[in-house]
C-alpha cells in the first residue's frame, strides 16, 4: 500500500482531560514503519493532575520529577524525532492518533509553556482513528461497539499487554496497528 504522506502515531498520558489547566505527563510516538519509537516523560514547572487520570495512567510522579524532560527539552526531543523520521522518509510528517485532537492540544500546551513554535514541527494535517472507525461503522463494515480505543483494540486483537496499556508508547503502538487494519478496510 503506497502512503503519500509519512505519518507518526501519537499518544499522550496526561494529568487530566483539560489541556488548559492540567499537565502533559508523557508522550509516545511510533512512525508508520515501526522502525522508530520514542517515549518520554514531561516535567512541567507545576505538575497539575486529577486522581481519576492518575488511576488510569499509573505514572509515578516522583520518577517523572526526577527523569522528566523540561518543556523546552520535550519540544526539542519531539522536533528531533520528527526530523529523523521525515529525513528517512523524505516526506512531510502528519500526526495520527485515536482522538488525536486531544493529544495535539496537550502538545500545544507544552509548546506554549516552552515558548517554542508548534507549527514548524508538524504538518497541519492529521488522521484520527476514531473518525475512521465512525465512518466504517456508518458504512456497516464494523459494529457500533468498536468506537473506543479499548473496544477497537480488542475487536482487531491488538490490545497491548496490560503493563503497556495506558502508557503513551503502548497505546501509540496499538493505535499504529489499528490504523493499518482500518486502512485495509477503507
- The CATH number linked to 148 is 3.30.420.10
pLDDT tens digits along 113-158: 999 988 677 888 899 999 999 999 999 999 999 999 999 999 999 9
Question: 163 with 58: CB under 8 angstroms?
Answer: no
Residue 125 lies in a domain: yes
Locate all alpha helices (DSSP H) within the chain, ordered by sequence. 51-57, 61-67, 71-89, 100-114, 129-138, 149-155, 168-185
pLDDT tens digits along 36-87: 999 999 999 999 999 999 999 989 999 999 999 999 999 999 999 988 887 6
- Taking the model in full, what pTM does it have? 0.92
Q: Which residue has the higher pLDDT, 44 or 165?
A: 44
Residue 1 lies in a domain: no
Residue 90 lies in a domain: yes
Per-residue pLDDT, 24: 98
pLDDT at residue 28 tops 70: yes
Residue 145 lies in a domain: yes
Q: How many CB atoms lie within 10 A of CB 156?
A: 17
Task: Tell which residue, 99, 109, 78, 106, has the closest CA to residue 8.
Answer: 78
Domain of 44 in residue numbering reads as: 6-185
User: Based on the structure, what is the number of domains in the chain?
Assistant: 1
Per-residue pLDDT, 1: 42
Question: 122 with 95: CB under 8 angstroms?
Answer: yes
**Residues forming a β-bridge with 168:** none
pLDDT at residue 175 tops 60: yes
Q: How many CB atoms lie within 10 A of CB 52?
A: 9
Per-residue pLDDT, 68: 98
Amino acid at each position: 500500500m503506497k502512503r503519500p504522506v509519512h505519518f507518526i502515531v501519537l499518544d499522550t498520558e496526561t494529568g487530566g482531560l483539560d489541556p488548559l489547566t492540567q499537565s502533559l505527563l508523557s508522550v509516545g510516538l511510533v512512525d508508520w514503519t515501526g522502525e522508530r519509537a520514542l517515549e518520554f516523560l514531561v516535567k512541567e514547572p507545576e505538575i497539575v493532575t486529577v486522581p481519576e487520570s492518575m488511576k488510569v495512567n499509573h505514572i509515578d510522579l516522583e520518577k517523572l520529577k526526577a527523569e522528566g524532560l523540561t518543556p523546552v527539552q520535550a519540544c526539542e526531543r519531539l522536533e528531533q524525532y520528527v526530523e529523523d523520521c521525515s529525513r528517512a522518509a523524505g516526506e512531510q510528517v502528519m500526526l495520527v492518533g485515536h482522538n488525536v485532537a486531544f493529544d495535539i492540544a496537550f502538545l500545544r500546551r507544552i509548546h506554549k509553556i516552552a515558548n517554542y513554535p508548534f507549527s514548524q514541527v508538524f504538518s497541519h494535517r492529521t488522521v484520527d482513528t476514531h473518525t475512521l472507525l465512525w465512518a466504517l461503522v456508518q458504512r456497516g463494515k464494523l459494529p457500533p461497539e468498536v468506537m473506543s480505543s479499548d473496544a477497537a483494540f480488542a475487536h482487531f486483537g491488538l490490545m497491548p499487554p496490560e503493563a503497556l496499556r495506558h502508557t503513551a508508547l503502548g497505546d501509540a503502538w496499538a493505535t499504529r496497528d489499528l490504523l493499518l487494519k482500518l486502512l485495509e478496510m477503507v
